[in-house]
Amino acid sequence: MKGLFKSKPPTPVELVQQTRELLAYALSNTETRERKRAEKIAELDKLILDIRTILYGDGQVEPSSDACAQLTKEFFQQDTFRLLIHCLPTLNSGARQNATHVIANLQRQRVNSKLIASEYLENNLDIMDILIPGYEDSDIAWTYGSISRECIRHQSVAKYVLESKHMKKFFDYLQNPNFDIASDVQATFKVQNTHELLHTNTFLQELLIRHKSTVAGFLSANYDWFFQEYNSQLLQSESYITRRHAIKLLGDMLLDRSNASVMVRYVSSLDNMRIMMNLLRDSKKTIKLDTFHVFKLFVANQNKPPEIISILVTNRSKLLRFFSEFNIDKEDEQFEADKSQIIKEIANLQSTDRSCQDLDNCDVPC
């Protein structure tokens, strides 16, 4: 008779409850029987996959909004999120990937028009103190990095990270010889463009672009140390990928109206302009073009310091020749207009008393 009746599938709430129990079990380390533990972990893997199916559908049936709401409420109500974060290193790669998709989806789920994840993370910001150091472990760096990027979608979380001790460590993570990890950190600094260099190439970028008012406050308050590290560690890096991401992100930051005061300060620095001049000499066209969009801000600055005017005037001939020959592969009216404006500005500059001989490293593109 038993074969005539199928067991009733668990409700979304029961599914989360069962998952929570197995997560606690996996973290307890009290099970001495290896076979028994393996069975429990396999059951946990299946439950995470079942949760993913509820949130995303199975390819044939669309997800139920009511089931998603129930699951989301239970997931955050009983701190299952924290348990899952702690347990991720013990899961196999497939389960980690499913867990990452689950967490990404839950960040966007609304219950009664409220983003439950945002409210939960605002009250549990210390979870970022678990996730971000994960960049130091190559085994879990990709997983923790992906989850970190999803969490900083919420402004309170981004603000916490920007003001935390972790911020300075990102520059160290970017020097990681593991390319995927370094790329993932760069990705966390901006919202990813449609053309990804790598799947993981999306934290530093996300962090420094999405929440404009929060980022503007951070950059103003931390200008000196941040741009000193940014210039030396990223813009002057020996890595092409690092330089490329850094100059593109710098342009995005400086051209954002929220960062107007930061932009004026940055383009008033002779040291910063020297770095741009060196990047204009880069062998890679993509870096040259992105540098062009930053360099034009120095030239367009109507309150140029005398030392910057002196450099531009002294090297006027070289600069005019360089920009007259500087072209891109496709037609772009805005690029041509910007280039013409730069040429005009440099050609019309008036000399100052200071000469280039008074300054070191006055190299310009040839």
Q: From first to last of its 366 residues, what are the pLDDT tens digits of the chain?
A: 455 556 788 999 999 999 999 999 988 876 667 888 889 999 999 999 999 999 999 888 899 999 999 999 999 988 899 999 999 998 999 999 999 999 999 999 999 999 999 999 999 999 999 999 888 888 888 899 889 999 999 999 999 999 999 898 888 777 665 545 555 555 555 543 323 233 333 578 889 999 999 999 999 999 999 999 999 999 999 888 889 989 999 999 999 999 999 999 999 999 999 999 999 999 999 999 999 999 999 999 999 999 999 999 999 999 999 999 998 888 889 999 999 999 999 999 987 655 444 444 545 554
- How far apart CA 255 and CA 258 sit, in angstroms, is 9
Q: What is the pLDDT of residue 356?
A: 46
Distance (Å, whole) CA 143 – CA 105: 15
What is the predicted pLDDT for the residue at 116?
A: 94
- What's the confidence (pLDDT) of residue 187? 57
In this structure, the number of other CB atoms found within 10 A of the CB of residue 36 comes to 10
Mark 135-164 as b/e (b = at least 16 C-beta within 10 Å).
Answer: beeeebbbbbbbbbbbbbbbebbbbbbbee
What pLDDT sits at residue 198? 35
* Nearest alpha-carbon partner for 313 in 359, 264, 250: 359
Check residue 298 and give its pLDDT: 97
Question: At 323, phi and psi to the nearest 5?
Answer: -70, -30
Q: Residue 177's pLDDT is what?
A: 53
Give residue 193's pLDDT: 34
pLDDT at 332: 84
Helix (H) or strand (E) holding 110: strand 110-111
